[in-house]
Amino acid sequence: MVSVFLVSMALLCLARGGDEEAYDYIIVGGGTAGSVLANRLSESGKHSVLLLNVAGAPPAAYQGPVLLSDEYIVQKNRTTDSGLAVKILQPGYRAVEAFSVKETGSSPARFLGGSSLVGLSLYLRDHPEALDAWGKGWGWKEMRKQFHKVERLGRTCYGGSKSCGDYGTAGLFDIAKEPAYTHPLTMDFLAAAKEAGIPETRELNTMHDAATAVPPTSQHTDGTKSHAFDAFLRPAMGRSNLNVRHGARADRLIMDGHVCKGVAYRYLSTEEDRVVFAKKEVVLSSGYVYSPRLLFCLDWAQRRI
């Protein structure tokens, strides 16, 4: 089975003439990271970019109000009847339709936008000293600029303060210093923590010591969710140098020695297998299960040669 695959890949590589499909960059996975990459890599207009993703654009329900963990605990409104089905009952909002898995086959996190669609929308950067431990070029000084580039803080701060702390205000991703809606249980928890001697902070993203807080969230000023598809991919989709191909599952990386030259993928609706080549790079952003899986399959296949 593996050898048949390797032979066919070798033949495909040998057959590479002038007419094979090729892009400067191929991005595998259009989730959180893939949406950002597709936007940035196509921004200059100088590079051709192909994005492969399992499922297409998310249904409108994913723009619903931010779901925080109290909803799970207090409202008891979670059901597993149809996979990852959740009803959000925040005061002031209509209940959001249950998240459905029928269109993606498994998790709704397979739509374009990925796990940012289903996450709890907590916007937590790591502490400056933790970032400094990442190594040269990845410390707080460098990362702070990147965080600010992404962020668009859209609300005045908790308690009405005008000083919003260390956030960017002109990026593509809407964030709020505190959720539009905070469940009373959260406030009780903060009060209890204070009584137990744990201080409260208004700066969870920069505070160094242990503390409790109402968390910053990735949400718009009206309390609905910011996600990677809306913030990064949708605005880039009209660019002529970006091709977003959904219903396409990457199955194998095509190697030339230690260099990845392309991707073999399957159109799920027709079960047709295709190959596409990269003139510059293949970028893996298919999540913490499927990126390692592609690499594992590669390693396994190479060890069999």
Ligand X SMILES: Cc1cc2nc3c(=O)[nH]c(=O)nc-3n(C[C@H](O)[C@H](O)[C@H](O)COP(=O)(O)OP(=O)(O)OC[C@H]3O[C@@H](n4cnc5c(N)ncnc54)[C@H](O)[C@@H]3O)c2cc1C
Write out the residues near ligand X by the rule CB under 6 A: 28-34, 52-55, 109-110, 114-116, 118-122, 249-250, 285-287, 290
Distances (CA, A) of 292 to 206, 286, 299: 32, 9, 10
**Nearer to ligand X by C-beta: 157 or 283?**
283
> C-beta of 201: minimal distance to ligand X in Å?
18
Residue nearest to ligand X (CB): 31
**Nearer to ligand X by C-beta: 118 or 153?**
118
> C-beta of 123: minimal distance to ligand X in Å?
7
**Nearer to ligand X by C-beta: 114 or 179?**
114
Distances (CA, A) of 19 to 241, 282, 299: 18, 19, 29
For the chain, how are helix, strand and coil distributed in percent, rounded to 5? 30, 20, 45
d(CA 219, CA 88): 15
> C-beta of 31: minimal distance to ligand X in Å?
2
Contact 35, 228 (CB under 8 A): yes
> C-beta of 160: minimal distance to ligand X in Å?
25
Contact 172, 92 (CB under 8 A): no
Distance of CA 141 to the CA centre of its chain: 24
**Nearer to ligand X by C-beta: 164 or 294?**
294
> C-beta of 57: minimal distance to ligand X in Å?
11
3-state secondary structure of 159: helix
> C-beta of 115: minimal distance to ligand X in Å?
3
d(CA 212, CA 281): 43
**Nearer to ligand X by C-beta: 46 or 288?**
288
**Nearer to ligand X by C-beta: 195 or 268?**
268
3-state secondary structure of 44: coil
**Nearer to ligand X by C-beta: 19 or 28?**
28
> C-beta of 119: minimal distance to ligand X in Å?
3
> C-beta of 238: minimal distance to ligand X in Å?
20
Half-sphere exposure in the Cβ direction for 244 (13 Å, CA)? 26
Please, which residues have CB within 8 angstroms of residue 101's CB and are 6 or more apart in sequence? Answer: 82, 83, 84, 107, 108
2-14 vs 287-303: helix crossing angle, rounded to 10? 90
**Nearer to ligand X by C-beta: 179 or 195?**
179
Sign of CA dihedral 34, 40, 45, 46: negative
3-state secondary structure of 270: coil
d(CA 36, CA 115): 13
d(CA 175, CA 25): 29
